Amino acid sequence: MTARGWFLFSLMGVLWGIPYLMIKVAVDGGLSASAVVFARCAVGAALLLPFAVRQGNLTGVVRAHWRPMLAFACIEIVGPWWTLTDAERHLSSSTAGLLIAGVPIVGVLLARFFGDTERLGARRTAGLALGLGGVAVLTVPHLTGGDARSLTEMLVTVIGYATAPLIMARWLKQVPTLQLIAPCLLFAAVVYAPAAVMGRPDGLPSAEVLASLAGLGVVCTALAFVVFLELIREAGPTRAVVFTYVNPAVAVTAGVLLLDEELTAGVVAAFALILLGSFLATAAPGASGRTRRVRPVAWSARQTSRADGRVEVLADLPEERPGSTGQGGG
């Protein structure tokens, strides 16, 4: 990865490691999941839309790509942000952050449905197993009562976060970053506006809750999405989401230090398994795959006489033999 890629990677680890803390503060402060998502999207859209319009032809871009943009908005924002926010009414911010660390693992599996024929190999398969084991360690104690619903919501969030980058990389890679994310945020804000109004609190939220909403909108949405889409373009969709290796550490640290959440042995074990599993599952192809060599193609020439007496030299190219392709394989 380039120096720019590593910078974006490190920045994303922090920018999307702290939303869990802010979401937890907001929902514990009495706001509904719809209100939190609406505020987050509305602030992000308000900040980014003027710049997207300034780039020109925003309407034309939306008309040309509205189908994949709609899919991206629903799968990355509309669905996952609500399920994540609602889940944190019952789960700690640390647990939510750890579960999101399974995104790279799910991304590897989903990539195969999007045409990725790269061999998994023993190393990556072991990584998938370790990561899923870490998720099991984390979730089994919560499989009763309201937590079961929250865990299902987190699964929806993980699948959405793993799928959206694949959509972006395949159908939206040529769309400018601002002209992609600003309309998507605006669409999500419009979707949640009615529910946010109906579920608004009776009084003005506390300063702590308002600060959390501002942080979600400005830092974790507007800034983070610009960085995220640039990272996808730089590193590709599968490895772009590997920044979620860092997210759990940030989420757990913030939860323990600022919300007095408990750091248990199970949390530590789950974090270690998910981290190692994600690292192995997203290993570079060269780690387990084979690279085909390019075999030289022999050329031969033969002479033939034309009716006008001239001699013409013709080149014969033999049929391509198996294994002569220059593409890497696994």
**CA trace torsion 186, 218, 93, 268 (10° rounding):** 120
Instruction: Please check the confidence at residue 68 and state whether its pLDDT lies above 60.
Output: yes
| Inside any domain, residue 330 | no
| Inside any domain, residue 123 | yes
pLDDT band at residue 116, thresholds of 50, 70 and 90?
low
Domain limits at 232? 3-287
pLDDT band at residue 214, thresholds of 50, 70 and 90?
very high
Q: In whole angstroms, what is the distance from residue 97 CA to residue 19 CA? A: 9
pLDDT at position 296: 45
Overall domain count for the chain: 1
Q: What is the pLDDT of residues 12-57, one digit of tens each?
A: 878 988 999 999 999 999 999 999 999 999 999 999 999 999 999 9
- List of long-range contacts for 53-59, beta carbons under 8 Å, 24+ apart: 55/176, 55/178, 55/179, 58/179, 58/182, 58/183
| Inside any domain, residue 111 | yes
Q: In whole angstroms, what is the distance from residue 124 CA to residue 110 CA? A: 14
CA dihedral sign of residues 42, 45, 47, 49: negative
- Residue closest to 125 by CA, chosen among 318, 283, 2: 283
| Inside any domain, residue 275 | yes
| Inside any domain, residue 266 | yes
| Inside any domain, residue 218 | yes
pLDDT band at residue 218, thresholds of 50, 70 and 90?
very high
Report pTM: 0.75
Instruction: Please check the confidence at residue 80 and state whether its pLDDT lies above 80.
Output: yes
Instruction: Please check the confidence at residue 131 and state whether its pLDDT lies above 80.
Output: no
| Inside any domain, residue 292 | no
| CB of 138 closer than 8 Å to CB of 99 | yes
Q: What average pLDDT does the structure give for the chain?
A: 80
Q: Which of 235-249, 252-266, 282-296, 311-325 has the highest mean pLDDT?
A: 252-266
| Inside any domain, residue 34 | yes
Residues above pLDDT 70, as percent of the chain: 77
pLDDT at position 326: 38
- Residue closest to 199 by CA, chosen among 33, 4, 20, 25: 33
Span 300-316, mean pLDDT? 50
Contacts of 298 (CB under 8 A, 6+ apart): 318
CA dihedral sign of residues 87, 90, 93, 94: negative
Q: What is the pLDDT of residues 271-304, one digit of tens each?
A: 788 778 767 766 665 544 444 444 444 444 455 5
Q: What is the pLDDT of residues 143-152, one digit of tens each?
A: 555 578 888 9
